Chain A
Amino acid sequence: MLAAVLRRTLAVFGLVAFVQTAEAQDNISTGLFFRADTDGTTVLSPHVGARVGIVDDSTWVEVGYGADIWTSASIDIRTAATQVVTEQRDEITAEVERELDEVRLRGSYRYSDEHDYVSHGGALAVSQELADGNATVETALSAAIDSVSRSGDESFARELSTIGAKVTYTQILDPETILQVVYELNRREGYQASPYRFVGVGGDGRCNGSAQLCLPETHPAVRLRNALVLRVRRALGADFSGGLEYRLYIDDWGMSSHTAALQLAYVVDEDSTLMARYRFYLQTAASFYSPRYDLPMGRLRYVSRDRELSPMDTHRLALSYERNVDLTDAGPTVRFTFAIGTALLHYSDFVDLGVVFAFDATVAATVEL
């Protein structure tokens, strides 16, 4: 009962996904995401998908196709002294979900392909309602197998396998407040470096600079990642709702990160919602990362020029507007979403890269039966 009240409250504020209720209506969705940054990278990501209810409307099948068309002259490309690179990654997803009274089962598969990276992944999830729907526990197991190759080098072939588990506990505190705790454990084993990145040893750290030695990027083969997330959402009167989120991440490469996010939603009218979200992210470097590696006296085990392993912090602000529109008197209804975001990424210890500004925009539409 309380769960339903809260679900309605959150639905009003477009936060249904937080409660992880499935959309029962058949729909077709499409969207386009665009991102550009001052590091010379642009990404265009179209997506289409469909969700169909079958078997007494308690089983749903969802399929989707998406692509990332990626053009870059980023620091990685410039360091490798190659021309602007354009690549495309295609992804197909399929999901089956079945509702059995208070239990919801979900199985999904993902296939991703680009010319030098192929990935197969799957997940199984069980969600159970507790305490008359006032609490929900979801357990998910996932696995993926990736094959990494290098353009122009047929002899290069590496594997990466990933297994993971995630437990999500959602508790309704009162008719207007919901709390969620998530713990995720993830183990990756295999090749986790970039086949195109080389690390300068000695000198200024750049292979095309004054480095005396240039080594292929080498990372440890195993990585154990832990993440703990806390989220709170609350309806603030009739027209507003707010949310707070904190995420702690720790792995055995010596990295840790803290994420804090604040979200505010405003119901403009019965059919439209406006949302603002701010996110702050701060991470430490991996234990083996260094902006410059000195010539070692002995063996240098791991070297990296991955900016994602360097110390960094980001600020991101996003605005989104969602509106339901009836195409005709008879329907169907289309839900339009427009979103823009801007981010500032600050790399405090990375050679040749300090601050990057990024801009992104999303246009999406979902047609519901």
Chain B
Amino acid sequence: MRALAMLVSLAVFAEALPAFAQEEPEVFTGDEPVEGENVFTGDEELPQESPEEPPPATDPSGWALPRILVVPERRTPDALIRNLYSLLGTVGEVVPADDYIREARSRGFPPEADEAFEAVLPEMDVELVVVVGVRAGRRSRRAPRPRRVHFMYREGQDGLALLEEEHDLPSDTLVQLTADRVLAEARLALAVITRPRAPGVVQEGDEVRPVEARLERRGPRREPGAAVQVALSAGGGFGMRQFELPTELGVVRLTTDPFPIADLALLFELEPTARGQLELFGALHYTTSLGLRTDDMRPDGTVRNTASRSQALEIAVGARYRVVESIDSVALGGLAGFGVRLFSSEAPVTIPDYGLSAVTIRGLVIFPFLEGRLELELAPELQFIFLVDDALTSRGVDPFAVALGGVARFAAQLTGPLYAGAIYRESHAFLTTDDEGAGDVERYVSAYLEYRP
């Protein structure tokens, strides 16, 4: 019944639009009155046509398959999505929804919401949208709950709903009968969509109704909600570590040459209102040396080369605030967290294995460029060291100290989910001992790739 109602509305819609069926390209007969620049007055010099080879009425080189965006609702089986890709691939060019979903979520809308289509589709260049989801049937005590597959066919420019259908789904893929029906539905929907969508379809002076007026709304207009982003980054670069500790036998000193490092980070971002001014985030950042070897000068004057490891781990939460409500706006912010930096050696050496644990406070200034596709971040940092390993306290190092440093980061968007960037960090810990000061310096530079699904 619902399908029938939709077909009726479809027929009305088809009358309202200058529709061209996919299989029937536009053909000019020469009898149509043409307005504007193309109107012939009879005074023009007509082009000479070769009587042997009359020009084709249409140029086939401009033909293209319609682009069909397949938007799966959450928890749609993977096999069903792949099944649809191959099925709809017979009537058009299938466009996976990854970019669309990412963009819709970044604007705070569920991907299947009218507002998401309205906001994102104008940037997508697709003719038809097929939203597919799975609905649970009536629950049974003896067998897994039966399911139905639900389709919503939408126009590709602004998401206008064209047709809604539902079929049985006994497995994760469509049975042949359902597949045939889905194919027919897709063809029917394509038949009422104006194509090709090119400059000139809407002429100057045509009445263009606002999108809101054309969309068939099922409820009140949805406001942008929260947007969540999770990112994982991995990189490599070079680091240096310096350590100095006065002892009764003299100053114990570690100075390394630049050594390779690996750098991993996990980031969680929350915008309470998508693309609003406030953003909250949490971050986990781990850095470790790779293949670091150090020379240890022993009291007897001999040098022992040993494998060592320099590591840093930081977990932090913070916020940043865009100064004006624009994605291009400079943002200010800060974070607070816990950080620990470690140094250890494989064999017992003069420099003890030690760790410094600290509360980290970092200010943030972020400069976005090109609508956020490039970003420069500067972050001065202050650490309150509150825990020093026994290996140092037993040598007279005070457990409380401060460290000063900062982070500079640059990132650029390569493709939708992939970013590349570079980060530089330097931190000087000023440790105090009974007699003199001691210090630990950590610095590294790393190039990284970041993935944001």
Where the two chains meet, the residues of A that have a C-beta atom closer than 8 Å to any C-beta of B are 1, 4-5, 7-9, 11-12, 21-28, 30, 48-50, 52-53, 56-58, 63, 65, 88, 90, 115-116, 151-152, 235, 237-238, 270, 324, 326-333, 367-369
Contact = CB atoms under 8 A, between A and B. Distances in A.
B141 interface: yes
A25 to B, nearest CB: 7
Contact of B74 (A115, A116, A326): A326
A50 B418 CA distance: 12
Contact of A4 (B79, B141, B144, B227): B79
10 contacts: A1-B173, A4-B172, A8-B172, A48-B264, A50-B232, A65-B234, A237-B143, A330-B105, A330-B225, A368-B453
Contacts of B147: 8
Contacts of A235: 144
Given A7-B79, A27-B453, A65-B264, 17 more contacts: A4-B172, A7-B172, A8-B144, A11-B172, A28-B451, A28-B453, A48-B232, A50-B451, A50-B453, A57-B82, A238-B142, A238-B145, A328-B228, A330-B228, A331-B74, A331-B105, A333-B74
Interface residues of B, number: 53
A230 B98 CA distance: 39
A270 B74 CA distance: 12
A58 B387 CA distance: 50
Q: Which 5 A-B pairs have the closest CB atoms?
A: A4-B171, A24-B78, A26-B453, A369-B453, A327-B228
Interface stretch (B107-115, B241-249, B363-371): B107-115
Contacts of B144: 8-9, 12, 235, 238
Nearest to B136: A270
Residue from the set B85, B225, B234 with the largest chain A CB neighbour count within 10 Å: B234
A5 B144 CA distance: 10
A180 to B, nearest CB: 19
Contacts of B75: 324, 333
Contact of B110 (A28, A52, A237, A330): A330
B136 A332 contact: no
B346 A56 contact: no
B417 interface: yes
B297 interface: no
Contacts of B232: 28, 48-50
A273 to B, nearest CB: 13
B139 interface: yes
Residue from the set A8, A12, A52 with the largest chain B CB neighbour count within 10 Å: A8
Contacts of B234: 63, 65
B230 interface: yes
Contacts of B359: none
A191 B227 CA distance: 54
Nearest to A6: B171
Contact of A369 (B101, B113, B139, B266): B101
Nearest to B311: A88
A26 to B, nearest CB: 4
A343 to B, nearest CB: 29
Contact of B266 (A21, A48, A115, A328): A48
B142 A330 contact: no
A329 B110 contact: yes
Given A90-B288, A331-B74, A331-B111, A1 B451 contact: no
A350 B228 CA distance: 54
A167 B144 CA distance: 31
Nearest to A5: B171
A9 B146 CA distance: 11
Contacts of A23: 78
B92 to A, nearest CB: 14
Nearest to B97: A369
A328 B116 CA distance: 15
Contacts of A1: 171, 173, 175
B258 interface: no
B77 interface: yes
A330 B109 contact: yes
A333 B346 CA distance: 42
Given A50-B451, A328-B225, A11 B77 contact: yes
A60 B451 CA distance: 14
B227 A328 contact: yes
Interface in B179-235: 225-228, 230-232, 234
B451 A238 contact: no
